[in-house]
Chains A and B, each alone.
Chain A
Amino acid sequence: MLKRSKLNLALILMLAIAAVAVTARTPGTNPNEIVIANFSFEPATLTVKAGTTVTWVNRDDEPHTATANDKRFNSKTLDTGDRFSQKFDAPGVYNYYCALHPHMTGKIIVK
């Protein structure tokens, strides 16, 4: 009896750990959210319908920005945990980068 409950407990723990691991890997429930982590935008390319609001969230310890190449939008400083949202009405390709680390690049494709 004791053995079985121990086994069950172990199983529950394993499942719980697995669930946490899966959650941690998923960027978020919002498909229009871009996570900034490890000096990269994830996903680097996001395709959305016209009229969609896209949100960036900085999960890095370093500050970043989401700045359009043509400066059409600019998040300004995003410190750890900060968010920035931008609505995309017109179809097109919007290239952006981090103004502090310009090797970090991303793209929004609006259809």
Chain B
Amino acid sequence: MSDKLERRSFLKCMAWAGTGIVWAMNGGVLGSSELVLGAKSKSRFNFVQISDSHIGFNKDPNHDVTKTLQEAVDKINALADEPAFVIHTGDITHLSRAEEFDTAAQVLKGVKTSKMFYVPGEHDVFTDEGQLYRERFARGTQGQGWQSFDYEGVHFIGLVNVLNLKQGSGTGLGGSGFGQLGQDQLAWLKNDVKGLSSSTPVVVFAHIPLWTIYPEWGWGTDESEQALSYLKRFGSVTVLNGHVHQILQKVEGNVVFHTARSTAFPQPAPGTAPAPGPIKDVPADKLRSMLGLTDVSSVSNGNRLAVIDSTLA
């Protein structure tokens, strides 16, 4: 086994064990999978991903998720470099109620950044197919809330994979129970990246992971392979997801998959509990070490992207 492969499986193991270590992706660790930013880009920039704030949740282990979201915002505002923008990868609310969206919007208004981008989680859309969500958080997006934009030579794509969920589990009969992209969005995606040069770094963000983490809990997305096939030719693809409330990471060719912690409550590592859902018996003084945010930045010489997770502790 080559050194590179060993390192890769080592990283995978660490990620699957759900350890709360800080990930810093750079050449030394991820070898050929290092993320190269456009050579033209000289300026350093960073952006932040937060996820799964579940405003409205009020049970163990966190009876005040508005406060922990506020703490995440304070952390963003305390960063040495103000982020160019902040991405929220869904489950803004717990029950898609208007007042939950209002509270979230109020807290997130305090983020010191020039723009927020959102994709919905299933908790934001399950009562009304995402109508309230789109009214408040999807301005300027296309279709059912998907979007793309460019920043400093990097192409960003926000995908919606929580609508039209179909019953079933990856191991049983019926559907997969997975996230759904849908043919309309896939057609849009194919067209969206058509004109881009293959050296353009691409960052994709969506709520449910775009790789199969654990089919028994529906932790995967149907048609994600089709979506990723459109991105195959790109030298650097970073996929940022939420949903699982823990850091998991996988590297496959030029694609780095990464999931973020929640700002509300942790969930069990895949298969370590009878069901997903909040880990309830977290001691109060431990909770914040299981919540957090993800800071993504180009490193100082301007040709790498670093993904660094930090906790609220």
Tell me, yes or no, whether B95 is within 8 Å of chain A by CB.
yes
Task: Please indicate the chain B residues that have their CB under 8 angstroms from the CB of A38 in the complex.
Answer: 274-275
Instruction: Return A80 CB to nearest CB of chain B, in Å.
Output: 8
In the complex the two chains form, is B168's CB within 8 Å of A97's CB?
A: yes
**Contact bitstring A23-45, B, C-beta under 8 A = 1, else 0:** 00000000000000011100000
Q: Which residues of B contact A (CB under 8 A)?
A: 59-60, 94-96, 122-123, 126-127, 165-170, 172, 174-175, 177-178, 216-218, 274-278, 280
Does the CB pair A61–B94 fall under 8 Å?
Answer: no
In contact, A62 and B278 (Cβ under 8 angstroms): yes
A48 vs chain B, min Cβ distance (A): 20
Q: List residues of chain B with CB within 8 A of the CB of A79.
A: 95
Tell me whether B177 and A61 are in contact (CB under 8 A): no
Residue A85 CB within 8 A of the other chain: no
Known: A79-B95, A99-B165, A101-B218. A61 touches B127 (CB 8 A): no
Distance between B178 CB and nearest chain A CB, rounded to angstroms:
8
A-chain residues with CB within 8 Å of residue B165 when the two chains form the complex:
99, 102
Query: In the docked arrangement, what's the CA distance between A79 and B96, Å?
Result: 12
Look across to chain A and name the residue whose beta carbon is closest to the beta carbon of B97. A77
A76 at the interface (CB under 8 A from B): yes
- B95 contacts across to A, CB distance below 8 A: 63, 77, 79
Residues on A with beta carbons closer than 8 Å to the beta carbon of B177: 97, 101-103, 105
Q: Which residues of A contact B216 (CB under 8 A)?
A: 103
In the complex, how many angstroms separate the beta carbon of B149 from the nearest chain A beta carbon? 29
